[in-house]
Structure 1
């Protein structure tokens, strides 16, 4: 059996090895000539039988793909979502519903599709004109507002604007920058600021039947310019009241967005009036270490997506068992307080001294410039803490944050910018 993986970057880099264990050979499709460097550096060299580049000529790509006779196609990253659906449709493979309105990518159309399905979504505007944005904000009458690109992911260019001046600054910044695929942002989305507790869920679907693999609770900080900084995340127990409130809503959102096959990652705010969608990505969760998640759940998002594509019957049997964390787990995003050239990675080895340390990965290299963390893109990396005793995890988390602030002898060995 052969499959296609589009953009095997970030978490998608783990797909080829998992599929190889199931006897599946993989062909890689790069969705654009302009994949950002921070994604390209995660690519699993030597993992594919062939790599094909999509340069905008769909017919040429289809002709190049057909000889491999793929049985299914999977997205490896947010940049892959559109092309994955297109390839599945043209090759007659299992795939999501046609998305001419781009409800799985454009944050405005996503909110409108969820509302049309009878579910709550945030008040939303999409525009390229600041006067329109300002008029909407005045009519909305509640600050702060969330301001972000229509087509991106994570905390990329997400701002929380407390007044018209901040709105103008964020609006102009977004239109003057590019999204994660390198395309210039043409529109800006404004949304109401939701009040509540934020969660995310990782799901995998087959023929429109959805399995919720994990639900996690976010803990974030407010960074410079009002952007959200990820602090840490923890999974919910199956009997957590929040999980019970979120499950039916999440399944409805996936139906509303036409997600029928493959992985998805959804972010939801649980408000006093119930769950409200922030956004859904029809792809794997970003920046995870699957083997650590498996130590907690017995499986992980990557493994389930591979199983669903290669053996839907076996996936159905696995999906019949509710997800349940077996031990305490905390995913901690590293937060750099410093600016300067990173002299060495040796300081990060101190993480291994923490009793609950499970693993870590870094998005920075020695010799590179380290920026203060202001969003997910400027986080130096991630550390997982795993232990049966929640008190040990909390103690180690506090020690980790202290190491980040320690100078010298902490995590970051840098030549300071004066």
Structure 2
């Protein structure tokens, strides 16, 4: 069985292993040295990537010198060498060249990996590019800024990934401040920022164009459109990315330009994950990344979107050119809309649970999430790049409107009720004012009794009302549906973590008849993550309708269950 080598097998690059195995080849992985990264953190990162792989593979480790590594790999006789991540591009390209395999020329390596050199290459080829300069001091940057009469600029490491160290500066002083800060830090690979790239800022709409090349012929596999935000510190934060299924005005020109960029960089084989900006002057390259698109997207997720996935298409370019060209002849036609919502942590948070993990599967377009359940207590830092997001939710559906609705919902939760994403849970020693709770409950009951046959699910039982009252533990014994449900749970929620609380709310809402109502007073929603907005988010996740409250009814959320 012939070997195929994946250098630095991470993120979406882990999909290579399944594809190699399914083609009847033996997958082998070359793990890079940790370099300047923390050794234990690096080991944990690599293990977490390997744990995602359901197939056997052979693992080898980069040697102290390139010559030793080349000799080790030469003895394995690989027929293809591919990078599994951005950090693997340099070594994979060198090995493939020295092993005389199908690959990209070593002469193009700087243009493939250095963010300044790729724009120099575009300038040489007469293509639109972004003005920039590599600087080693604040003084160099100020000279470049003044000489080019710049206003807004972007600062970034010359090499890196995941937007680590990327900052938008709205004026000269911000540039000076951020440069001073970034020169003391490291890039995404753990290397010190001895130099930084300062570029003019292009304002527009941001896209991804992913291509695969076979002997210098290119085809577009997927086009995505980004939405990012800038925080108060100038960091660029990923908010959402969604597939472009039907081209809009200016997007065909973007595709043409992307082909020109891939030609200019000198790509003959394999992937380019290209990031572009489109403004009033048309498309311009932000950067190329000559490896699979990241974000840990699974084969199945991508197959649902386009009927193919990138790592398999990459292997076609090397192993099955006929199949590559047959796919290239077919029009760009996606079968579903795909999207990722990338959560932005607003501040440093200690969390005990991630309630969104129980909420998001209720969404119609939900596919998967990277946000893991929290076993004890975990610290999340404020998001400043892709690496410090607390997780993604993957969405896919044939109806783009459903995907858009679910994205809007997740954004609303993130903006208004972040406690439903990461939660520290309630204080179990909280003292309840049960007499006060009963008094506040009366208002909800006085209105609810007009809606027909109802049930009160309660921690505080009331005298003198003609309706079924049950405690939380007795819900399982209740059969049938009701015209309305009043929920008065507080003590029960204090005693449970937020994940269980969310599941209890979902179970209770299932008791409502179609066209029935649920009343959730302050005596309940104060004890749910996010309070009133939290319960409203849970209601919306089930496609229930929040009802306009009647006159003089305060501190009660009312929702109805319709036929939708």
**TM-score normalised by the shorter chain: which range applies?**
over 0.9
CA–CA distance in structure 2, aligned partners of residues 207 and 222 of structure 1:
39
Q: CA RMSD in A?
A: 2.2
Q: How far 1:344 sits from its partner (Å)?
A: 2.6
**TM-score, normalization by structure 2:** 0.70
Q: How far 1:272 sits from its partner (Å)?
A: 1.5
Q: Find 1:214's aligned residue among 217, 222, 225.
A: 222
CA–CA distance in structure 2, aligned partners of residues 363 and 208 of structure 1:
41
Which is further off, 176-185 or 127-136?
A: 176-185
Give the 3 Å change call, closer, same or farther, for CA 163–405 of structure 1 in structure 2: closer
Aligned residue in 1 for 2:414: 404
Aligned residue in 1 for 2:448: none
CA–CA distance in structure 2, aligned partners of residues 222 and 146 of structure 1:
12
**1:28 matched to 2:29:** yes
Q: How far 1:403 sits from its partner (Å)?
A: 2.9
> Which runs of structure 2 are paired with 1:88-237 in the superposition (5 Å)?
88-99=96-107, 102-237=110-245
**1:311 matched to 2:312:** no
SS in 2 for 1:248: helix
For the 8 Å contact 2:133–2:144, the answer to whether it is kept is: yes
- Render the CA deviation track for 1:375-400: whole Å, top value 9, x for unaligned: 21111111122223333222222221
Aligned residue in 1 for 2:71: 63
Q: How far 1:346 sits from its partner (Å)?
A: 4.7
Q: Find 2:399's aligned residue among 389, 395, 403.
A: 389
Q: Find 2:353's aligned residue among 344, 348, 373.
A: 344
Aligned residue in 2 for 1:8: 9
SS in 1 for 2:331: coil
CA–CA distance in structure 2, aligned partners of residues 113 and 189 of structure 1:
16
CA–CA distance in structure 2, aligned partners of residues 86 and 364 of structure 1:
40
Q: How far 1:9 sits from its partner (Å)?
A: 0.8
SS in 1 for 2:242: strand
CA–CA distance in structure 2, aligned partners of residues 210 and 364 of structure 1:
41
SS in 2 for 1:231: strand
Aligned residue in 2 for 1:374: 384
For the 8 Å contact 1:89–1:95, the answer to whether it is kept is: yes
Q: How far 1:308 sits from its partner (Å)?
A: 2.4
- Structure 1 unaligned residues grouped into runs of 5+: none
For the 8 Å contact 1:337–1:405, the answer to whether it is kept is: no
Using CA pairs below 8 Å that are at least 6 residues apart, which structure has the higher relative contact order?
Answer: 1
SS in 2 for 1:214: strand
Give the 3 Å change call, closer, same or farther, for CA 52–322 of structure 1 in structure 2: same
Q: How far 1:408 sits from its partner (Å)?
A: 8.1
Q: How far 1:98 sits from its partner (Å)?
A: 1.6
**1:40 matched to 2:46:** yes
SS in 2 for 1:13: helix
Aligned residue in 2 for 1:82: 90
Q: How far 1:304 sits from its partner (Å)?
A: 1.2
Q: How far 1:406 sits from its partner (Å)?
A: 5.7
Which is further off, 61-70 or 240-249?
A: 240-249
- Render the CA deviation track for 1:102-161: whole Å, top value 9, x for unaligned: 111111111100111110100111111211111111122222101111111231111111
CA–CA distance in structure 2, aligned partners of residues 414 and 324 of structure 1:
44
CA–CA distance in structure 2, aligned partners of residues 41 and 406 of structure 1:
35
CA–CA distance in structure 2, aligned partners of residues 104 and 42 of structure 1:
27
Give the 3 Å change call, closer, same or farther, for CA 347–246 of structure 1 in structure 2: closer
Which is further off, 113-122 or 215-224?
A: 215-224
**TM-score, normalization by structure 1:** 0.93
- Structure 2 unaligned residues grouped into runs of 5+: 427-564
For the 8 Å contact 1:266–1:280, the answer to whether it is kept is: yes
Give the 3 Å change call, closer, same or farther, for CA 364–245 of structure 1 in structure 2: farther
For the 8 Å contact 1:79–1:180, the answer to whether it is kept is: no
Larger Cα Rg: Structure 1 or Structure 2?
2
Give the 3 Å change call, closer, same or farther, for CA 353–101 of structure 1 in structure 2: closer
CA–CA distance in structure 2, aligned partners of residues 154 and 88 of structure 1:
26
**1:321 matched to 2:327:** no
